[in-house]
Amino acid sequence: MNYIKKLLNTYEGLPKEIYIIAIARFVNAVGLFIFPLLTLLLTKKIGISEAETGFWIAISGFSSIPMSIIGGKLTDIIGRKKLIVYPSIIASFLFGACAFTEPSMLMVYLIIAAGSILHSSRPAMNSLIADITTPDNRNASFSLSYLGNNLGFAFGPFIGGLLFKNHLKLFFLLDAGTTLLSTLLITYFIKETFFVAEEKANRNLEKPVTGSAFSVILKRPIILMFSFLLLGYQFVYAQWSFLMPIHLERLFVDEGAKLFGSFASLNGIVVIIFTPIITNAFSKISNLRKTVIAGGFYTLGFGLLGFIEIKLAFFISVVIFTLGEIMLVISIMPFLSNHTPVSHRGRINSILNVIMGIGYMGGPIVVGNLLNYISIATTWKLVGLTALISAVFLYILEFFDTRNHLRKKTRDYF
């Protein structure tokens, strides 16, 4: 009981807005059906090939790049809240329109448009959380937001998997409704934070500065190096929603959607159980070191599927790589927020999203074409190797960052 109480205390005393955000993300994730099952939607319902599916998923990602950049820029001009609310409302109506559209390329276009518009709000949401937190409670705040999302995600894909075969209209309508409801929570219970945060920023690395986002990055190259190394992890993680459904469908014909929905729910359950545990257990470890450890989990979790092809292997894989996912989520945004001036949070966030997004978008394209030449087992082995290489380079980055900090402390001392 004392240990459980200690875990719950991890989230005690956070700003009240963080709890609202966690609830909103929970509501949204309960109805998150479309994107987790997008691969099967394109292949089974619309009837396009695996290579074409990889292409359209990549197009969906590439189309989000300009929206993310625009959203990041506007986040630092007009504030965070508007850039969360308006795109989410538009996206909910586009999801609703899919319910009244026959499975076709028009449905694909509507989904891509909705996803791109939603991407414009991601820099704003991350900036909002950073604005209302400090380095002392930032890890716990991002952790709780992520936990709220996955509490919903434990149910969402499973429900979506049940609706997918015979109730596609309801599949889209519920996704639209939960997106709209979560937006209303943000609208009525959270105030704009941007201008207040600029006045209150007192840490040197977070104080407002002038100039473009690129000028900020040039002065803080660790942000750029960190972002590019995370690209490899995103390439790997993309196979969770692209290669795994294909693999399941090939091994267990006509059970792919149901099995993937179950594994997606397992992913959410693991997050629910282990997020507070990992957040508490690794609270004294640097954010960079956590990303290195995450790479180890990704290597084992995804690489495992290159050697074993039974349902139990998929179960174990999901558990292992989800532990890595948790490590990344509780460290990436706190690290970035701690190194970014409040005046540029939206733009720096958008740059990170674009760079990481290239990895996520490139994953389906590369792997979709690799499947024409090599087996799925060999592909999984290459995916695991990619995670390992990324982890090694992040370890090197941490080594040089630690050494630079020690040099600075020595100079300041003398």
What are 100-113's pLDDT values in tens digits? Answer: 888 888 888 888 88
Label residue 200 by pLDDT band (50, 70, 90). low
Instruction: State how far the alpha carbon of 288 is from the alpha carbons of 200, 265, 329, 350, in Å.
Output: 26, 28, 12, 20
pLDDT score at 236: 92
Instruction: Flag whether 4 is in a domain.
Output: no
**Arithmetic mean of pLDDT, 356-383:** 86
pLDDT value at position 303? Answer: 92
| Amino acid identity at 252 | F
| Residue 3 resides in a domain | no
Domain count, the chain: 1
Residue 339 CB burial class (10 angstroms; 0-12, 13-18, ≥19): middle
Tell me which residue has tokens 């952790």: 143
Task: Tell me which residue has tokens 């604005």.
Answer: 131
Residue 6 lies in a domain: no
Residue 407 has pLDDT above 50, yes or no: no
Query: Of 210-219, 266-275, 378-387, which one has max mean pLDDT?
Result: 378-387
Q: How much is the mean pLDDT over the chain?
A: 84
Stretch 366-378: mean pLDDT, rounded? 87
- Contact status, residue 55 vs residue 368, Cβ threshold 8 Å: yes
pLDDT at 4: 60
Question: Sign of torsion, CA 123 96 260 154?
Answer: positive
Tokens representing residue 238 in the block: 């993309």
pLDDT tens, residue by residue, 32-73: 777 767 777 888 788 888 778 878 877 877 777 888 889 988
Report the C-alpha gap between 2 and 198 in whole angstroms. 39
Q: What sign for the dihedral angle of Cα 343, 348, 353, 354?
A: positive
Question: What mean pLDDT do residues 5-30 have?
Answer: 85
| Sequence-ordered list of residues with C-beta below 8 angstroms from that of 106, at least 6 positions apart, any chain | none
Burial 243-267 (b: 16+ CB within 10 A, else e): bbbbbbbeeeeeebbbbbbbbbbbb
Asked if residue 5 belongs to a domain, the reply is no
Task: Give the model's pLDDT for residue 414.
Answer: 34
Structure tokens at 235: 């390439």
Mean pLDDT of 190-210: 72
Residue 393 lies in domain = 15-413
Answer yes or no: is 8 within a domain: no
pLDDT of 412 reads: 41
Q: Which amino acid is at 166?
A: N
Percent share of the chain, pLDDT over 70: 93
SS3 content of the chain, % helix, strand, coil (to 5): 80, 0, 20
* Helix (H/G/I), strand (E/B), else coil: 36: coil
296, two tokens? 């180890």
pLDDT at 406 over 50: no
**CATH number of the domain within which 129 lies:** 1.20.1250.20
The answer to whether residue 117 is domain-embedded is: yes
In whole angstroms, give the CA distance from residue 241 to residue 243: 6
| Total length of the chain | 414
Rounded to two decimals, the pTM is 0.80
In a domain, 40, yes or no: yes
Tell which residue, 161, 162, 171, 172, has the closest CA to residue 260.
161
Q: What is the pLDDT of residue 34?
A: 76
> Please, are residues 31 and 352 in contact by the beta-carbon 8 Å criterion?
no
Of 224, 165, 389, which is closest to residue 298 (Cα–Cα)?
A: 389
Kindly give, in sequence order, each residue whose CB lies less than 8 Å from that of residue 348, ignoring residues fewer than 6 positions away: 72, 213, 216, 217, 223, 336, 340
Full DSSP string of 300-333? HHHHGGGT--SHHHHHHHHHHHHHHHHHHHHHHH
Amino acid letter, 253: V
Residue 232 covered by a domain: yes
pLDDT tier at 298, thresholds 50, 70, 90: very high
